[in-house]
Amino acid sequence: MGKDNIEDVDIVVIGAGFSGMYAIHRLRNQFNVLCFEAGDGVGGTWYWNRYPGARVDIVSLEYSYGFDDALQQEWHWPEYFSAQPELERYANHVADRFNLREHIRFSNPVERLRFDAGSNRWHVHTARGDHVVCRYVIAATGSLFASNTPDWPGREKFKGQVLHTTQWPREGMDLAGKRVGLIGTGSTGIQAAPIIAEQAEHLHVFQRTPAFTMPSGNRPLDAEYEQAWKQAYPQRRKQMLNTWGASLIEYPTLSAHDCTPEERDRILENAWNSKNAFQLQLAFNDVMTDLAANKYVVEFAHRKIRQIVKDPEVAELLCPKTYPIGGKRLCIGNGYYEMFNRPNVTLVDVKSAPIVEFTENGLRTTRKSYDLDVIILATGFDALTGALTRIDIEGLDHVKLADKWKDGPTTYLGSMVAGFPNLFMIHGPMTPAAQAQMITTGEWQVNWTAGIIEAMERDGCTRIDTTQDAERAWADEVDAAAGATVHRFADSWYNGRNIDGKKGGFMIYIGGFPRFADTCINAIANNHEGFVRV
């Protein structure tokens, strides 16, 4: 503790999600590491998102830490795709097993960061009044942390309860006998809706844009499958990092154009029934790059929706027609389309008649009023940038990060921002982020960042920054990769067009994880290309 109760540490980590926890573990033997966490527990995304039905859609044997072989050998995942409680339990186990909690201050979000150019140190101020000075900040703030809450007027008038899906109470909610309105039909809304429909008296699903959804294929973990993974874990972890999405799912080699209509349908039917999530998008090697190939899959998905949903008008509304499949994130559901056959579920189209305001008794659209007891906002996130721009971050020459990013994020390798020295991001804007398996790639990014910090110490440097030229060159790479895919035809959190007025281009690097990792490694090997060290 220094003067005026200012504490002095080497590294502040922001966020005790999976990457933040690993950053503590990785660095604490060499450095004095302190982590601030907004929540009262560990797990990040899997701490905040405890809405009913929250479940990962990547195989848990992959979506888990690889840094400690005993951990991955001993941990048992009961299902292929773990539900939120299991992921939170795992995060807590890791925090206890590796004694991470002693480095974490909970319920204490960082509110302000200011770089002092004279001492090359960051001043960190938190909600609870902590003031810490440190040499490096690692922002492990998550891609999907800052919730998006549309500002319809009249919220104070509504007599019922309104909550965003990230605010679900730990003890759960009793929705029996309640008239529930669920706004939003992305991955979150689609997971939550069928479970809410089973409990509520009536569920109104307010849909602006329908999403493509396929069944999850979740099931209890097969013992043989688990054993095969555990026998080869270290090799498999390495293999994962050599694949596009850092996952051992099967990547297709066949073009949709290279088969007969019958073969195509058979492949798509197998994909739909497959036990691997995302298989529809992975049915052919050109679904994500060629609109004609994509159209086959779109038409197949429409046929499926029309087969499942009995009311033809509802089925038509549920068919996405304004963007290609995979353009937005494919949703993985569990009885989502079937749910619309229930008598207590109503689909409300808020594209043709948008929500105007909250009323005393519910919601009013331009067409009609709805009486509701509970309104659930599954309206997504100010993704990738929101977690950082909501902190008051001031770099060199008093420039604020939110101002620097007002026209969209600029980063070098998704890791650093010019003018904000000694501040590193994990899963920052313009990394592969959620387009690659995030726990394993988060570990990778933490290791790479730790290597940079270790080299600073070794070489006697005190400041590392990047340049605007390096940012521009990286932006060109990110754009080129995205421009080659069907993502450009959809508005989504990937490009910020899910938020009114948010500017910038595609915010995720989709050139594949191996290319990203090679670029990062080569930059360091090439005399810290793109960085400036003093």
Least separation in angstroms between CB 97 and ligand NAP: 24
At residue 364's C-alpha, the angle toward residues 190 and 146, to 5°, is 45
The HSE-up count of residue 118 (CA atoms within 13 Å, CB side) is 2
* Pairing state between β 531-533 and 464-466: antiparallel
Does 286 bind ligand NAP (CB under 6 A)? Our answer is no
Q: Binder to ligand NAP among 498, 507, 512, 520 (CB under 6 A)?
A: 498
Contact region with ligand NAP (CB under 6 A), list: 181-189, 234-242, 251-259, 464-472: 181-189
Give the residue, chosen from 33, 61, 434, 523, that forms a contact with ligand NAP under the rule CB under 6 A.
434
Question: Least CB distance from residue 135 to ligand NAP, whole Å?
Answer: 33
Rounded Cα distance between 499 and 352, Å, is 19
Q: Which span sits near ligand NAP by CB under 6 A: 177-185, 220-228, 250-258, 469-477?
A: 177-185
- 63: exposed, middle or buried (C-beta count within 10 Å: 0-12, 13-18, 19+)? buried
Let me know the angle formed at the C-alpha of 343 by 337 and 346, rounded to the nearest 5 degrees: 65
Counting beta carbons within 10 angstroms of the beta carbon of residue 70, is it exposed (0 to 12), middle (13 to 18) or buried (19 or more)? exposed
Neighbours of 21 (CB within 10 A): 29
Alpha-carbon distance 34 to 18, whole Å?
15
Q: Does 56 participate in binding ligand NAP (rule CB under 6 A)?
A: yes
DSSP for 506-534, please give it: --S--S-HHHHHHHHHHHHHTTSTTEEE-
Count of residues binding ligand NAP (CB under 6 A)? 26
CB hemisphere CA count around 75 (13 angstroms): 26
The b-or-e profile of 124-141 (16+ CB within 10 A means b, else e) is bbbeeebebbbbbbbbbb
Whole-number Cα distances in Å, 285 to 70, 94, 238, 293: 37, 37, 23, 9
Least distance to ligand NAP, CB of residue 169, Å? 18
Interacting residues of 57 by C-beta distance below 8 A, sequence separation 6+: 81, 187, 216, 277, 278, 332
Q: Is 317 in the site for ligand NAP (CB under 6 A)?
A: no
For ligand NAP, which residue has the nearest CB? 186
110, 180, 183, 293: residue in contact with ligand NAP (rule CB under 6 A)? 183
**Cα–Cα distance measured from residue 86 to residue 79, given in angstroms and rounded to the nearest whole number:** 9
Inter-axis angle of helices 233-241 and 513-525, to 10 degrees?
Answer: 80
Nearer residue to ligand NAP within complex by CB, 12 or 317: 317
**Segment contacting ligand NAP (CB under 6 A): 67-75, 95-103, 185-193, 223-231?**
185-193
Residue closer to ligand NAP by CB (options 422, 495) is 495
The binding track of 342-371 with respect to ligand NAP, each residue x by CB under 6 A or -, is --------x----x----------------
Is residue 185 close enough to count as binding ligand NAP by CB under 6 A?
yes
- Min dist CB 246 to ligand NAP, Å, is 15
Q: Report the nearest approach of ligand NAP to the CB of residue 167 (Å).
A: 13
- Binding of ligand NAP at residue 189 (CB under 6 A)? yes
> Which residue lies nearer to ligand NAP by CB, 52 or 184?
184
Q: Decide if residue 379 touches ligand NAP (CB under 6 A).
A: yes
Shortest Cβ distance from residue 255 to ligand NAP (Å)?
27
**26 near ligand NAP, rule: CB under 6 A:** no
Q: How far apart are CA 45 and CA 18, in angstroms?
A: 9
Is 184 an interacting residue with respect to ligand NAP (CB under 6 A)? yes
Q: Which of residues 208-227 bind ligand NAP (CB under 6 A)?
A: 208-209
Angle CA 404–474–482, to nearest 5: 100
Helix ranges (DSSP H) in 319-383: 336-339
Helix (H), strand (E) at residue 425 = strand 423-425
Say whether residue 204 binds ligand NAP (CB under 6 A): no
Does position 205 bind ligand NAP by CB under 6 A? no
126 touches ligand NAP (CB under 6 A): no
Q: Which of 188, 247, 435, 449 binds ligand NAP (CB under 6 A)?
A: 188
Report the interface residues with ligand NAP, using CB under 6 A.
55-57, 144, 150, 183-189, 191, 208-209, 329, 332, 350, 355, 378-381, 434, 493, 498
